[in-house]
Each structure stands twice: as structure tokens, then as C-alpha cells.
């Protein structure tokens, strides 16, 4: 991922010969940097070549007198519609346009627009290259122009915050994109342990301690695999006063075969991404030291494979979670809620101000909301409103689904406290998953994010590469910053 620098106007010519500007469809530039007469000439020339300044549309122009720069104009569409998401998409478009063309690039934007444009630019520069030679890309550095010394310091602060978030997203994407055999639970524990530092403490425990804690629900999923499960617990503490204590819980199924309720082969092709929720939690902890929030954050990530081994849990088995509730397992492919149940129980014991779990939980969420929108359910209205506001700011779309009390009847079991799937097959699957998790969240304000759709992209577009997207890292960071 490209990490932009801050460049003064005096050093611009030495830094790069190519410079990106952003323009609305009426010819108005976002910010300055080009004399009025030259600006009109560039606009007219680009229009003659078919440039309409639609969102993300790019047009290269001839050299201009000010420093012999070559200009690329990036469209923002209509001024009244150009919010932060449009700016992100425009920043991504500039990156994709420049990647194979130039080694260095200047970017001219006002400080007020630098955060979303740099965010889109950095996220679009990401590429997963662990298993193959990366695609040819000439672009190695980008510099955002500052008006003066004071502006340089302010711009650097904006870029530092944005880069911390984008580096966290890239970290989550890397984890999701890695092959399932290369992220065994033990390996994920090692990756989590590497996040430890002065402000972050990490604990990793396996099957034996999980059994001592009464995590029968989590361990029931791990039974089908010879690999030792790994439960990761992280704690971030600020240097100063703690304003709030927040828990983040992430589903960490490193590969989901469905267990004995085996998935069809085509459905397994992307199941290395079933730990995207836990990847997001780890990514947040990667960013926290740089953001220096006055919050105590606790993370809970249960990692295991869900495989149909000789000791695998069988449909009809009954297991007990940490809080003493028994669960009749009727479908071993509804395993994410089982590992989250014990993680939520552990979080509920720690006297937190709020707990948010995130998980690629149900295919029903994709059916209902598609691949761009996460479902969010919450037992606490203020928490829900803050999350929805954070999602609007991040551009990671979320939509509230209700926790319908009457549907709790569908989780009643004849032999246990509840069953792990609803009685009415195919009905309200995402809500049923949320209601199941609510049974283990205790009295703490709690929200559930079903990221089954947005956690993975089948193709590259805008600031997304093909594969893991890093959702909902940016939303969670914005939520935490709002507290």
C-alpha cells in the first residue's frame, strides 16, 4: 500500500512532474493550484476530448506553464452530490489511473477533503501478493501538496490518521486473502501475539483452558479438526484516563467446510474468508496505538477450523456454553454463532460499556442486503445509532434489522435451552442468528454486525481489490473515535 507524503509547493517540481486535480462537472476545481486562465484552458481542452467530469472519470492534459507539470483531472460529478464517498471513489480512480503510468504523483486537494481522497487512494493502492508476483505498477510514491508550513503540519496529521486506518484495513485484507492452510488457529494466535506492545496485551489459549472456562460451544466446533483451536484475547489500555471500555468480538473460523452438514464444493471456494470478523478485530488493534484513543478496548477472537473429522460434532448433539445454557446443534454449518456464544459470554463477564460482535454469519444477510451492505442488530438504541452514523461516515453501508421478540420462539428446543437454527427453515435467518447471539451477550449494551456480504468482493472496483475488503474496520474505528 502506498503511504503518501506531504510536499510543499516549493518542492513540488522536484518531487514529481505529474499532478492530480479534482474537478466538478461545472468545471470548478476542488481547491486551487492552477491560475484562472490556465484552468479555463485545461477545462475546455479536456471537454473537447469528451471529458465530462463524472465521478472517477480521468483526463490527462498537456503541460502547463506553471512548472511544466502534466495534469490529470479527476471527475467529482455534481457539486451538491460530492460527499465523502464520492471523494473516496475519486481518490481511488486517480490511484488506478496513475499506477501503471508514473513513478511519482502529486495530489492537489484542500485539507478539508484530504482524508476521504487519501483514504480512497491508499485503499486502491493495496494489492495482495503473497502467492504471486504483483502486477506491474510503476507508481511508488505520492505526495499531497500543502499550502505552507502550518498547512503541512495539519495535512500530515490528517494523513497519519488516515494511513493508520488504511494500514489496518490492508492487514485485515491480507489475513482474509491468505489460504486457509496458512492461517491455522495456532498461526492466527502467533499473528495476534505480534500485535503486543506497550499499550496492547495479548493472551492466547487452547483447548485445555477453553474447557476449564466451560467453552463447550466453541469447542464443539473445533472437534472435527486435528488442529488445536486458539482463543485470542487482546487488551488495549491508553496512557491516560479511560473514558469507556469497549469489547470487540470477531468470528474466527479459519475455514468452514460446514462440518458434517457439509457445504457443496462451490460454496467452499471462498470459505477462507469466514474469519473476516476476527481479522477486523485484530486490524483494529493494529491501528489503536497510532490513534491514541482514551478508551480501553478488549478483543475476543475464537479461532478454529470447522471440519468433518472423525470426532466432529453431529447433528442432534447438545453442548453447554460458558453461561450454562445448553444448545441443541441441528446444523453444524451454523457454527459461527457457536464460537461467538462463548466469546460473548467471556466479554459479558468483563464489565464493559458496550460489546460489538462482527461475523460472516449468514447467507441470508447476503440474500436480503446483497454484497455491499452489512446487517446490524442491537439490543441498545444509542449504540446502534452511533454505529449507523459511523458507517455513513466510513462509506461502509449498514442496515438495521429488527430483533423480533416473537421469533425467539423459533429457537426453542425440545431437549435443550435453545437450538442453533430456527424451526422455520429459510425464514428470517439473519435475525434468528442475531437472536441466538443475544442469549449470550448478558446485560451489556450489545450490537451484532453480519458482514457476510461486504467482507468479500468477487472483483476489484473503486477502492476494493478482489478478495477480502477489510470490512468493517473503518466503521469500527470511526465509532471508537466518536466516543
Residues sharing a CB contact under 8 Å with residue 405, sequence separation 6 or more, in sequence order: none
- pLDDT at position 31 is 84
Mean pLDDT by groups of 10 residues along the chain of 483 residues: 90 86 94 80 88 95 64 95 97 94 92 96 95 80 83 93 98 98 98 97 98 98 98 96 97 98 97 98 98 97 98 98 98 98 97 97 97 97 98 98 97 98 92 98 98 97 96 98 97
- pLDDT at position 33 is 73
- Start-end of H helices in 65-148: 84-98, 111-125
Between strands 295-306 and 230-236, the pairing is antiparallel
Q: Active-site residues: which are they?
A: 263, 337
- pLDDT at position 32 is 72
Cα–Cα dist 193/278, whole Å: 14
pLDDT tens digits, one per residue of 58-115: 998 866 645 567 889 999 999 999 999 999 999 999 999 999 889 999 999 999 999 9
CATH of domain 5-147: 3.40.220.10
> Vertex 430, ends 315 and 472: CA angle to 5°?
115
- pLDDT at position 66 is 53
- pLDDT at position 8 is 86
Among residues 253, 200, 203, which one has the least CA distance to residue 231? 203
- pLDDT at position 39 is 84
Fold of 171-481: Aminopeptidase (3.40.630)
Cα–Cα dist 4/118, whole Å: 8
Between strands 18-23 and 104-107, the pairing is parallel
- Mean pLDDT taken over the chain: 95
- Intervals of CATH 3.40.220.10 along the chain: 5-147
Residues sharing a CB contact under 8 Å with residue 377, sequence separation 6 or more, in sequence order: 400, 401, 402, 403, 430, 431, 434, 447, 448, 450
**Set of cell numbers at residue 334:** 451454523
- Intervals of CATH 3.40.630.10 along the chain: 171-481
For the entire predicted model, the pTM comes to 0.96
- pLDDT at position 67 is 57
Among residues 177, 352, 280, which one has the least CA distance to residue 288? 280
- pLDDT at position 146 is 83
Cα–Cα dist 324/383, whole Å: 27
**Would you call the peptide bond into 472 cis, given omega within 30 degrees of 0 as the criterion?**
yes
- pLDDT at position 11 is 86
Helix, strand or coil, per DSSP, at residue 166: helix
Yes or no: say if 297 and 235 are a contact pair by the CB < 8 Å rule. Answer: yes
Cβ neighbours around 324 below 10 Å, total: 10
pLDDT tens digits, one per residue of 271-317: 999 999 999 999 999 999 999 999 999 999 999 999 999 999 999 99
Amino acid at each position: 500500500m502506498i503511504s503518501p507524503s506531504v510536499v510543499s509547493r516549493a518542492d513540488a517540481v522536484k518531487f514529481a512532474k505529474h499532478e492530480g486535480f479534482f474537478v466538478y462537472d461545472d468545471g470548478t476545481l476542488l481547491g486551487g493550484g492552477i491560475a484562472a486562465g490556465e484552468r479555463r484552458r485545461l477545462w475546455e481542452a479536456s471537454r473537447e476530448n469528451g471529458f465530462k467530469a463524472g465521478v472517477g472519470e480521468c483526463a490527462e492534459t498537456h503541460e502547463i506553464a506553471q512548472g511544466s507539470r502534466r495534469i490529470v483531472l479527476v471527475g467529482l460529478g455534481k457539486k451538491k452530490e460530492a460527499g465523502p464517498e464520492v471523494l473516496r471513489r475519486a481518490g481511488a480512480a486517480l490511484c488506478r489511473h496513475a499506477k501503471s503510468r508514473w513513478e511519482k504523483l502529486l495530489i492537489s486537494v484542500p485539507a478539508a477533503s484530504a482524508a476521504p481522497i487519501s483514504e480512497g487512494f491508499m485503499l486502491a493502492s493495496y494489492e495482495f501478493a503473497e502467492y504471486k508476483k504483483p502486477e506491474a505498477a510503476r507508481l511508488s510514491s505520492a505526495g499531497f501538496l500543502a499550502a505552507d508550513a502550518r498547512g503541512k503540519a495539519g495535512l500530515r496529521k490528517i494523513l497519519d490518521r488516515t494511513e493508520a486506518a488504511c494500514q489496518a484495513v490492508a492487514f485485515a485484507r491480507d489475513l482474509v486473502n491468505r489460504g486457509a492452510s496458512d492461517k491455522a488457529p495456532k498461526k492466527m494466535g502467533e499473528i495476534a501475539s505480534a500485535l503486543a506492545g506497550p499499550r496492547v496485551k495479548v493472551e492466547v489459549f487452547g483447548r485445555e483452558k477453553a474447557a476449564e472456562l466451560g467453552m463447550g460451544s466453541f469447542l464443539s466446533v473445533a472437534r472435527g479438526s486435528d488442529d488445536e483451536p486458539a482463543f485470542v484475547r487482546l487488551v488495549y489500555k491508553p496512557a491516560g484516563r479511560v473514558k469507556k471500555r469497549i469489547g470487540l468480538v470477531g468470528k474466527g473460523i479459519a475455514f468452514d467446510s460446514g462440518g458434517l452438514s457439509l457445504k457443496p464444493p462451490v460454496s467452499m471456494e471462498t470459505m477462507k474468508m469466514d474469519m473476516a470478523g476476527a481479522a477486523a478485530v485484530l486490524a483494529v488493534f493494529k491501528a489503536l496505538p497510532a490513534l491514541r484513543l482514551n478508551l480501553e478496548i478488549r478483543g475476543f477472537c475464537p479461532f478454529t477450523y470447522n471440519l468433518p473429522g472423525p470426532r466432529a460434532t453431529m447433528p442432534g448433539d447438545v453442548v453447554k456454553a460458558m453461561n450454562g445454557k445448553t444448545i441443541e446443534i441441528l446444523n453444524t454449518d451454523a457454527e459461527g454463532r457457536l464460537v461467538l456464544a462463548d466469546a460473548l459470554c467471556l466479554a459479558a463477564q468483563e464489565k464493559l460499556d458496550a460489546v460489538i460482535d462482527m461475523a460472516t454469519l449468514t447467507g441470508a444477510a447476503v440474500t436480503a442486503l446483497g454484497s455491499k451492505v452489512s446487517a446490524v442488530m442491537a439490543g441498545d438504541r444509542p449504540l446502534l445509532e452511533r454505529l449507523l452514523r459511523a458507517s455513513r461516515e466510513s462509506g461502509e453501508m449498514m442496515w438495521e434489522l429488527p430483533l423480533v421478540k416473537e421469533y425467539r420462539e423459533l429457537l426453542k428446543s425440545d431437549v435443550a435451552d435453545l437450538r442453533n437454527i430456527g424451526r422455520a427453515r429459510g425464514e428470517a435467518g439473519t435475525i434468528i442468528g442475531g437472536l441466538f447471539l443475544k442469549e449470550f451477550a448478558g446485560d451489556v449494551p450489545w450490537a451484532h454486525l453480519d458482514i457476510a456480504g461486504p467482507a468479500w468482493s468477487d472483483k476489484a472496483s473503486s477502492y476494493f481489490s478482489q478478495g477480502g475488503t477489510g470490512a468493517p474496520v473503518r466503521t469500527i474505528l470511526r465509532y471508537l473515535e466518536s466516543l
